[in-house]
Structure 1
Amino acid sequence: MTQPTFTTRPELRGTFGMIASTHYLATAAGMSVLERGGNAFDAATAAALTLHIVEPHLNGPGGEVPMIFATAADPIPRVLAGQGPVPAAATIEHFGDLGLDLIPGTGLLPATVPGAVGAWLTLLRDHGTFHLRDVLDYALGYAAAGHPLAPGVVNTIGTVAEYFGENWPTSAAQWLPGGRVPQPGVLFRLPVLADTYGRLLAEAEAAGPRREVQLDAALRAWYSGFVAEAVERFCREAVRDETGRLHRGLLTAADMDGWRPGYEPTVSLPWRGLTVHKAGPWTQGPVLLQQLGMLDALGELPPPGSAARVHRVTEVAKLAFADREAWYGDRPDVPIGRLLAPGYLHDRAALVGERASAELRPGAPDGRLPRLPGYLSSPRSVARTGESSDSMSAVERGGIRGSGERRIGDTLVASDGTTRGDTCHIDVVDRWGNMISATPSGGWLQSSPTIPELGFCLGTRAQMCWLEAGLPASLAPGARPRITLSPSLASRDGQPVLAFGTPGGDQQDQWQLLLFLGWAADGLDLQAAIDAPAWHSIAIPSSFAPRQRDPLTLVIESRFSPGTIDELRKLGHDTALSEPWSLGRLSAVSRDPDTGVLRAAANPRGMQGYAAGR
């Protein structure tokens, strides 16, 4: 009898319903909805609204969320795009007049239309079965009555406490009760946000008893009513951001009133009997498909855990992300079909050499010459963070960082005290065959000052736009930033079989590739694929200010054998050893359409994510 592979937790198996998320309280809220008869979309909405409360350093009501889903009635996956556009007044010329060549990563200038709440309300209205109160009560309760504060939240508050006290008094009032950093595990309340949710619910229910009518009323209250009005009032104030200067926001009530979440087709690629679905090139999602296509062109994969496997996957990632820099954006002329064409990917794969490449090498689909942002050729864009491959002093826990950044808990902290938030993830499948993968992010407590009337802050996603005209990801009024958020869904024979994803900014589609290869190519179960030692390259230009890259550094968990590490160094990789369990916060659910068996798994890294199901 074959012994099962040891995993940190069992892969969950059942037939009723499965949910996995980055926080156990959100998972519990979603599972509660499933137990009460709700479907996967009801459960995902309850979990997401709970994440706004319990992981406020990773996402919030002012943030955004792309999601990919398939319904039991229509198994063709679709995208619900919960990423709001940049404001009408956000022009390259405006930022130039302010003397800026990069959009700051904090404050009010990088705010986009908040998309997360609108997307969840839309999903619930169109594909759920529960009323708003049924899914909002979990978050409302945790905000009003309190929830045990996660250590990562406390760490984040601690890193920005002094800055809050000196520059953002509204944030200090909310996150520093009594002027002190709260303790981990303390029962923490968010009364102003609870009042906002309570008012949203009251306005929804005042519209009448019908579920859809209530959700439409909630959407109006958020985007055309009291929330939009409060956002505009606050954006008229000047606040200090990471430039060290005071700037007013550009977001208006009219910007919010003019936008609603929308549905889009997925971008997909067939791969060894599966079809992998991603959101379009206004996200980085298609890089996962490009990586898979190039790996297929290179033939049989080297063995798991080998230096040859790590090298090949890493070099393929560099090529795919170089294409992201040159070609991806919220524009209709992105040549996504050509970028995913087998012949193009075969030619790109041929560039993978025997040694690590330090070059940023985008391709030329249909002979169109690539154009990279001019900033990426400047010395400011290169950060040598991996000088000492045996030291964790420069590359701690493997996050996305520029020079002098380190990771504390879930938050990246730069040498100047600025912070980069992270992200959350949710996967759900139910007994009827509904499935969803969603990656909420933005509106981090540390990214922008708290709006005192609402109890949450705005997102800063516009920092991903370039202040250089003519690029696919150039700042343009009404366009979406090219975001890193990247949920995934795979189907087989036209039926959804796998939903998966992770937080991690630019690293999301590197870590997701590792999970997918472990499950689809190596035959691991979901938990074993998540538990397997991980790595990623930071040769990829960061999507976050200050937009840097480290051309040869490979961040790799120290669970790899010394022989593998040595071989990677001989291949030219500047290996930066990360802690044994530190890279990625993956989760996944699956469904076998033939048997109806459901499975789920979540990441032990960070000791916060959990899966539940039966």
Structure 2
Amino acid sequence: MSVLEKGGNAFDAAAAAGFVLQVVEPHFNGLGGDVPILSYRAATDRVQVVCGQGPTPRTATIDGIRRLGLNQIPGSGLLPAVVPGAFGAWMRMLTEHGTLPLSEILDYAIGYAETGFPLPTGAAEAIEVMAPLFETEWLESGRVYLPNGRSPAAGSRFRNPALAETYKRLLREATAASGGREAQIAAAEKAFYRGFVAEAVDTFVSTTEVLDSTGRRHKGILTGQDMADWQATVEESAHIRYGDCTVHKPGPWSQSPVFLQQLALLEGFDLRGMGLNSAEYIHTVAECAKLAFADREAWYGDPDHSDVPLDILLSPAYTAERRELVGAKAATALRPGSPGGRRPHVPEYVADPVPPEREHWMSQIRNGLPTVVRATRARTDTCTIVVADRFGNMVAAVPSGGWLKSSPVIPGTGISLGTRAQTMTLEEGHPNSFGPWRRPRTTLSPSLVMRDGKPILAFGTPGGDRQDQWTLEFFLAVVEFGLDLQSATETLAFHTDHFAASFTPHESRPRVLTVERNCDPEVIEELRTRGHEVETAAEFSLGKVCAVGADPGDDLLLAAASPRGRQTYAMAR
């Protein structure tokens, strides 16, 4: 909000918020992570995607992982590290669409890292659980996250001077460059990808064996040259019409098109007639999610390296054929389609031997999710930033990766590397197969909606594989049932885990349907009679949807944030 009030636009504000999140939510994302950015720029009347999902190293091969005796890519450590794409994505967006000097973007993150901030409860819990690992193995992580050798308390002032110095050095190298704003941004990007950050990454990854989720120590394969060779790309969005709206998402290098596939399927049902959160409604939405995510498992991957038949997957004829599979009972099998007559390939995940749990942290790093897993708490992860400005611009970004649990801090930088390669399969020939210079299929999934050629809504949520279920429920509450944005963030949330999870160890729970406990007991009972294995989660525990909107008729900007987690914010002025 400060950036907007200084005269900056939505792009400036989103980037400033993105860098602050790297500091204040280190359990969810970091400077070594990744981000897809979906935006509309009024001056060009264009929706575009900036891909901040870095690829695998150029030397990445399935055989290389297999020779280590592994059946899966580990969920932590250095082996699953990919090129960190978040910094390059924010720089690409700022170069093309921002207005303020880089110093006015990074100053906020530098301030919080240098002078401190109240540590969120989730971060404090993660550090406490991981402290024995940080003390004995990931020593640089211990220097960053265990001030005075102790786990910091939730709410205490926490500083990250190493990360602050990295931001300040990037800024120093930027401001030393001759030329204007764009030249300075280019200099900062060079310092990160071809300068001191890349050098630190190259030295550490090539010389250090790191204990990871296998219970063994491995070096990584990411190099400074991999970082130097990469640049964030700008792409057209994937999109479909839904009613009088056009819904835009990133492409199939993310899971994002499952949102569009679900909408295409649901358009053939009378959702309003069913009633919001009725058993018929929840059943229909969940069954369509199963079909869309089954296609994700079979067909999604980096389209630069695989033939992803997205046009067919979103076509009316294919959708109609798939819609016929939605019956009165819960599906028990994973049923990917055969677009264009092609045979689907769903990878099988063979678990690696479980190492002895010498410490509680070993059970935590075996799971590739960002946060520590506690039985009493719904699993969530990642961050969301959505911004609309008075100039008519709208931005949605979902930053993640490089969290404190993913890999050890690179000495002298305050940065952990992202581990997104864990989402890839070791089966040859799959669109999401592990291989050189491929973008892992990410779960990160921002959304942007247009009506009559104008942006009316942008939104996102943390939540891994469940993002495109929880945000779908929010969107349907708005467009089908007429709820205002805030009420829509507060409506009942539910999801299915019928398909393999993207994160190691890639578990699935066929037929399980999770609903928040405030669901009508009669609805839960009817869902069970339909064959769903219903599990209940605590009230207001699933998802953290954030949204911005625009009402062109009344010349209003809108903002909403779910109360879940007590960690989301909505501000409008």
TM range (shorter): over 0.9
Q: Residue 329 of structure 2 is aligned with which of 345, 355, 370?
A: 355
2:498 corresponding residue in structure 1: 539
Equivalent-residue separation in structure 2 for 1:68 and 1:356 (angstroms):
34
1:411 corresponding residue in structure 2: 371
Q: Residue 289 of structure 1 is aligned with which of 260, 263, 268?
A: 260
Deviations 1:346-366 (A, max 9, x none): 111110111111211000111
Q: TM-score, normalised by structure 1?
A: 0.88
> Per-residue deviation at 1:167?
1.7
Equivalent-residue separation in structure 2 for 1:235 and 1:247 (angstroms):
10
Equivalent-residue separation in structure 1 for 2:485 and 2:556 (angstroms):
13
2:10 corresponding residue in structure 1: 40
Alignment of 1:451-462 (within 5 A): 451-462=410-421
Alignment of 1:472-511 (within 5 A): 472-511=431-470
2:338 corresponding residue in structure 1: 364
Q: Residue 132 of structure 2 is aligned with which of 162, 185, 194?
A: 162
RCO higher in structure (CA 8 A, sep ≥6):
1
SS of aligned partner of 2:558? strand
Deviations 1:342-399 (A, max 9, x none): 1111111110111111211000111111111133xx6x59xxxxxxxxxxxxxxxxxx
SS of aligned partner of 2:570? strand
Equivalent-residue separation in structure 2 for 1:194 and 1:455 (angstroms):
8
Deviations 1:158-214 (A, max 9, x none): 121122222211111111122211111111110111111111000000003511110
2:288 corresponding residue in structure 1: 316
> Per-residue deviation at 1:406?
13
Equivalent-residue separation in structure 2 for 1:232 and 1:557 (angstroms):
45
User: Match for 1:323: what amino acid?
Assistant: D
Alignment of 1:83-162 (within 5 A): 83-162=53-132
SS of aligned partner of 2:184? helix
2:209 corresponding residue in structure 1: 238
Equivalent-residue separation in structure 2 for 1:297 and 1:304 (angstroms):
16
Distance change (3 Å), C-alpha of 1:506 and 1:108: same
Distance change (3 Å), C-alpha of 1:482 and 1:200: same
Q: Residue 526 of structure 1 is aligned with which of 467, 475, 485?
A: 485
> Per-residue deviation at 1:413?
2.4
Equivalent-residue separation in structure 1 for 2:163 and 2:325 (angstroms):
52
Q: Residue 557 of structure 1 is aligned with which of 503, 506, 516?
A: 516
Do structure 1's residue 303 and structure 2's residue 263 form an aligned pair?
Answer: no
User: Match for 2:282: what amino acid?
Assistant: V
Q: 5+ unaligned residues in a row in structure 1: which ranges? A: 1-30, 382-400
User: Match for 2:371: what amino acid?
Assistant: T
- For the aligned residue pairs, the C-alpha RMSD in angstroms reads 1.9
1:434 corresponding residue in structure 2: 393
Q: Residue 77 of structure 1 is aligned with which of 47, 57, 61?
A: 47
Equivalent-residue separation in structure 1 for 2:493 and 2:545 (angstroms):
11
- Please say which of residues 563-572 and 293-302 is displaced more in the overlay: 293-302
1:20 corresponding residue in structure 2: none
2:228 corresponding residue in structure 1: 257
Instruction: Report percent identity of matched pairs.
Output: 51
Equivalent-residue separation in structure 1 for 2:417 and 2:373 (angstroms):
19
1:326 corresponding residue in structure 2: 298
Deviations 1:72-98 (A, max 9, x none): 112221100001100011110100111
Distance change (3 Å), C-alpha of 1:80 and 1:235: same
Equivalent-residue separation in structure 1 for 2:136 and 2:498 (angstroms):
36
Equivalent-residue separation in structure 2 for 1:420 and 1:313 (angstroms):
21
Equivalent-residue separation in structure 1 for 2:393 and 2:51 (angstroms):
18
1:199 corresponding residue in structure 2: 169
Equivalent-residue separation in structure 2 for 1:325 and 1:189 (angstroms):
41
Distance change (3 Å), C-alpha of 1:406 and 1:580: farther
How many residue pairs get aligned? The number is: 557
Equivalent-residue separation in structure 1 for 2:48 and 2:133 (angstroms):
42
> Per-residue deviation at 1:452?
1.6
8 Å contact kept, 2:32–2:417: yes
Q: TM-score, normalised by structure 2?
A: 0.95
